[in-house]
Amino acid sequence: MTISLKEILKALADGQFRSGQSLGMALGVSRAAVWKHLQQAGRLGIAVETKAGQGYRIAGGLDLLDLDRIMLGLEEGVRRIVGRVVVLDTIDSTNNYARSELCKERGWLAVLAESQTAGRGRLGREWVSPYGRNLYLSLGCTFADGVTSLQGISLVVGVAVHRALAKLAIAGLGLKWPNDILLNGKKLGGILLEVAGDPAGHCEVVVGIGLNVKMPCSVACSISQPWADMSGYQITRNQLAANILSELVPALHGFPKTTFAGYRDEWQRYDAYRNALINVINNDKIVQGVARGVSDAGALRVDVDGRDLEFSGGEISLRRLV
């Protein structure tokens, strides 16, 4: 019989010691097979403690994704819209998976994974995605009215994520244009929106959300900017996934009838950079000015030497100067 690493990790998820023999018996494999699988866990950044006479333990336990728990956290209406929720173990990128499923069949689906081997941000940047600790979620959706009807949709995603986190009583949240979720000024999560299809007709949108729940120190050093996670809060990843979907799905389902204009005030309330002196960076071009919120179409408004300029496009980044 072959078993997956996840089955062994599930058996150790409560953080208690289990002997190799009892694990093997419960899962129908040999002690040697258990040992072999647990070598892999180390490579995934999960520290498995071994103690003579007691066996194996994951100190602090593991909070693994569970499809049934996520589904239980969703209202009937949300379940009906999404249609399919998929929980994967390790995948290159949940966005890739969602996109290839949408190519096979139009509609809506949500994809979650324990880890990503090629998680990405904008412009091919890396998204650090260790196993079993954070949230990697993609929502694939199909719209009928063309790409241009979706202006500002990524900012609506930010508002939905903010609402979900605020309901979990997380304090110190903020949004940074265009796609960052901040906690106490540091990057807690990011949004990657990918659109394909007809500019005037059917188009497929994949909304990818990465949120740090409990980032292991062993991989955190590879993040190239100040980051945050939710380790100070008692939040399970299943609850978090359900909360995000509960806010995100109705918000996007309202598109394009409800436009970003309906969310603009709320986005601006959470705007972490409002009235801050910033650099707007677009490739090697840098413009300095004061951030003045966003337009009805979701463009960034910046006061540059007394002129009100607007910036839009997924390749722009902001840096705060003071």
Q: Catalytic site residues? A: 122, 187, 319
Q: What count of other Cβ atoms lies within 10 Å of the Cβ of residue 96?
A: 19
Structure tokens at 8: 């062994």
Among 11, 147, 168, 223, binds ligand BT5 (CB under 6 A): 223
Residue 23 or 141: the one with the smaller Cβ distance to ligand BT5 is 141
Shortest Cβ distance from residue 119 to ligand BT5 (Å)? Answer: 4
Residue 21 identity: Q
Among 56, 108, 136, 270, binds ligand BT5 (CB under 6 A): 136
Shortest Cβ distance from residue 216 to ligand BT5 (Å)? Answer: 11
Shortest Cβ distance from residue 184 to ligand BT5 (Å)? Answer: 13
Among 190, 255, 280, 299, binds ligand BT5 (CB under 6 A): 190
Question: How far is it, in rounded angstroms, from Cα 111 to Cα 281?
Answer: 32
| Count of residues near ligand BT5 by CB under 6 A | 29
DSSP code string of 196-254: EE-SSS-EEEEEEEEE-SS--HHHHTT-SS-B---TTS---HHHHHHHHHHHHHHHHHT
Among 122, 253, 274, 319, binds ligand BT5 (CB under 6 A): 122
Residue 98 or 302: the one with the smaller Cβ distance to ligand BT5 is 98
Whether 303 and 280 have beta carbons less than 8 Å apart is answered as no
Among 37, 120, 264, 301, binds ligand BT5 (CB under 6 A): 120
Shortest Cβ distance from residue 191 to ligand BT5 (Å)? Answer: 6
Selected range binding ligand BT5 among 40-48, 135-143, 264-272, 285-293, rule: CB under 6 A = 135-143
Shortest Cβ distance from residue 161 to ligand BT5 (Å)? Answer: 11
Helical spans, DSSP H, in the chain: 5-11, 20-27, 31-43, 67-72, 76-82, 94-104, 153-167, 217-220, 237-253, 264-270
The footprint of ligand BT5 on residues 84-103 (CB under 6 A) is 93-95
DSSP code string of 90-112: EES-HHHHHHHHHHHS-S-EEEE
Structure tokens at 310: 């607007």
Long-range contacts of 59-62 (CB under 8 A, 24+ apart): 59/15, 60/15, 61/12, 61/13, 61/14, 61/15, 62/9, 62/12, 62/13, 62/15, 62/132
The footprint of ligand BT5 on residues 225-284 (CB under 6 A) is 225, 227
Map residue 177 onto helix, strand or coil.
coil
Residue 55 or 180: the one with the smaller Cβ distance to ligand BT5 is 180
* Among 245, 229, 223, CA closest to 181: 229
Residue nearest to ligand BT5 (CB): 190
Per-residue mark of binding to ligand BT5, 282-321 (x: CB under 6 A): ----------------------------------------
Give contact residues for ligand BT5 (rule: CB under 6 A): 93-95, 116, 119-122, 125-128, 136-138, 179-180, 187, 190-192, 208-210, 212, 223-225, 227
